[in-house]
Amino acid sequence: MAARPITLARAQHIARSHPCVRCGEYSFKKVTVKRASDAHKKELNVSWHAVRVCGICHTRQELGLDAEGDIVYEG
């Protein structure tokens, strides 16, 4: 049975509450969450695609979240 996919607000919250992949801080100056493309959905099983820019080390990083809010990829 498939779980109901998490909402955009929930995805944004998860993207903000996961530490920076480089410096481990939680201070992001920009977090953008979008619905994953159909191709990504199919290939990677992700529902949400987040792009974050760290406020401390300025690293731009991407996160993929699945329908349950688990992180599928990051970097």
Residue ranges binding Zn ion (CB under 5 A): 20, 22-23, 54, 56-57
Pinpoint the alpha helices (H) of 4-73: 8-17, 38-44
Q: What is the C-alpha separation between 20 and 74, in angstroms, rounded?
A: 10
Longest dimension (CA), the chain: 41
Minimal distance in Å, beta carbon 53 to Zn ion? 9
Minimal distance in Å, beta carbon 9 to Zn ion? 23
- Which is nearer to Zn ion, 42 or 58 (by Cβ)? 58
Q: What is the C-alpha separation between 62 and 71, in angstroms, rounded?
A: 10
- Which is nearer to Zn ion, 28 or 48 (by Cβ)? 28
Minimal distance in Å, beta carbon 26 to Zn ion? 9
